[in-house]
Amino acid sequence: MRLQALHHVTFAVRDLDRQETFVKDFGLVIVERTDSRLVMKTCGGDPFAYVAVKGEENRFVGLAFTVENAADLDEAHARLGATAPSDLDLPGGGRSVSLTDPDGNLVLLVHGSQRSEPEPFYPELEHNTPFEKRRFGRNQHGRERGPARLWRIGHVGLFVKSFRTSSEWYEKMFGLIGSDIYHIPGQPQARIVGFFRMDRGDEYVDHHVVAFMQDPRGGCHHISFETQDFEAQQRTHCFLGSKEYEAIWGVGRHPHGSHIFDVWRAPDGARFETFSDTDLFRKEHGTNVHDISQVTMDAWSTDKPDRYFV
Ligand SMILES: [Fe+2]
């Protein structure tokens, strides 16, 4: 069985009204809103990407991946101990099975949910550099001020109680491959952070679809959505700032994965990230292991990401 993509994330949220306002300002588009549920999508054609269910407390519920074949659901039921396949009660339909990961997060595998045509995006930027001129006799295409048009959900960062237990579980269940892994200074066996990509053989995939950070709190560290380009991120950054939401970290660029990132706090406390320009790897590229004391997290700044982990 090979994972195809991250499908969606689910959170329990106490105040759905405040959350709805934020996620709309962040760039997600409403699919369904009832007293008990908020379902949001990106503009890239996915049926939905973010679900908030009304809850007594704010907490992460789980994540879902798309699989290639309906038979993968049967295989997950027979071989991995997942529930029996059943209809997915969410927009776009499809079938799903569920598992529970070592930290108690619900992990769904989904097949057959219906995509739609992507919304229109802006024309690609044409850059004039000292070395190459591409734009002549006209301005850069204009863009509206306001929420970004998000293309897709790309990755999830999880706090895990044991890095070894969680990373081994996801490797064994879904064949995830470590791209970059960090260990405690001077102790190569004591691994505590890792960025894992999907195994899709010769096909290139994002540097990571899931990141694990060992932290006793458990739950979700952040969810991340791909924007068209860095200009969309910068515009989103300014727009969210104008609404006086809490900026957590960014705009910056991660050295590992190379993506430009920008992280904001939602009303429920969750961290929402935009990203663009991520590295792509395939199975053959293997795993790099680093001493965490040698790792920088933002190539553009030496600011300590103190609020990133609060
Ligand atoms: Fe991220």
What are 41-55's pLDDT values in tens digits? Answer: 999 999 999 999 999
Q: What is the pLDDT of residue 310?
A: 85
- The answer to whether the beta carbons of residues 206 and 280 sit under 8 Å apart is yes
Q: Give the residue-averaged pLDDT of 195-215.
A: 98
Q: How far is the CA of 246 from the centre of ligand 1 (A)?
A: 17
What's the 273 CA to ligand 1 centre distance in angstroms? 6
What residues have a C-beta under 5 A from ligand 1, the ion? 224, 273
Render pLDDT for 147-175 as a digit per residue (tens, 0 to 9): 999 999 999 999 999 999 999 999 999 99
| 262 CA from centroid of ligand 1 (Å) | 9
Mean pLDDT of 257-283: 97
**What is the Å distance from ligand 1's center to 245 Cα?**
19
In-domain check, residue 286: yes
Residue 129 lies in a domain: no
Report the alpha-carbon angle 227-177-283, nearest 5: 85
Q: pLDDT, tens digit, for every residue of 133-142?
A: 999 999 998 8
CATH classification at residue 40: 3.10.180.10
- How many domains does the chain divide into? 1
Q: What integer pLDDT is reported at residue 307 of this predicted model? A: 81
290 found inside a domain: yes
- Note down the domain range covering 156: 3-114+148-309
State the Cα–Cα distance between residues 25 and 28, nearest whole angstrom: 7
What is the average per-residue pLDDT within 285-300? 94
pLDDT at residue number 306: 78
In a domain, 121, yes or no: no
187 inside domain: yes
**Residue 140 falls inside a structural domain:** no
pTM for this entry: 0.97
